Amino acid sequence: MKIETAEQAAPGHTNEDRIRITPNAVIVLDGVTSRTRPPDRNGGWYAGKLADELARLMNDDPLTDLLAQAIENLTGEHGLTPGDSPSSTASIVRWNDETIDALVLCDTPVVAFGQSPHVLEDTRLEDLRPDPDILRWKNKPGGYWVAEADPVAGHQALTTSWRRNEITSVIALTDGVSCGVSEYGLFAWEDLKQLPLGEVLDRIREAERGDSEHRRWPRYKTHDDQAIARISFTA
């Protein structure tokens, strides 16, 4: 098998996306900075800590349990407060000889390729975008869920499993890359199975620069951090 990754910070910013690779898993996170955070605890800090803790804990337990435990451990170790701490989206791909398991929390999708693409995505945040006070729905029933300081969020993640012999490759990617498919229409999911990952990131950046006033694709910021991992099981 073969694992490839590509990352790129939004121009003028520090990258808050994180990728970790273990012997049988890939973890992709997108850090989110709290409005009232201490200056040394931004989204990248939290995503990095969470990625490291997930990698340390990785075993055969349900992925939701692992994510909840990692959130609980960080909350206790660093005294994090629900609703007033940095947070992170999460995607995990884990495999053994027979099965590929995937987890998604918030807008960091996972796509598996077999005879056709299988997309695991959490749209709860996107479904609430029209609300101008969207933060009031964070980590609440009927709202959206993100890894922060409440381990309950780990059990709200979406999960699925595939038979390994039916899957050729899997990608996990933050919304700074998935937007190239879901919002900009630059690619189909199948394209991300084979295109050089650096080329994918660059083409998204080029498209965003051409729409710097956000007219073609309305969005909150011109560029976002980018991270993508691709696991090729038949390489």
Give the sign of the dihedral formed by CA 127, CA 129, CA 132, CA 136: positive
More confident residue, 134 or 95: 95
Confidence of residue 206 (pLDDT cuts 50, 70, 90): very high
Return the structure tokens found at 159. 């999960």
Taking only the tens place, the pLDDT of each residue in 71-110 is 999 999 999 999 889 999 999 999 999 999 999 999 999 9
Do residues 195 and 49 touch, judged by C-beta distance below 8 A? no
- For the chain, the average pLDDT equals 94
Residue 221 pLDDT: 83
Q: What is the CA radius of gyration of the chain?
A: 17
Do residues 105 and 67 touch, judged by C-beta distance below 8 A? yes
Those residues whose C-beta lies under 8 Å from the C-beta of residue 84, and which sit 6 or more positions away, are 34, 36
Residue 226 pLDDT: 97
Residue 15 pLDDT: 94
Q: What is the mean pLDDT of residues 153-169?
A: 98
Residue 160 pLDDT: 98
The CATH class, in words, for 2-173+225-232 is alpha beta
Alpha carbon distance 123, 19 (integer Å): 21
Do residues 18 and 43 touch, judged by C-beta distance below 8 A? no
Query: Where are the chain's structural domains?
Result: 2-173+225-232
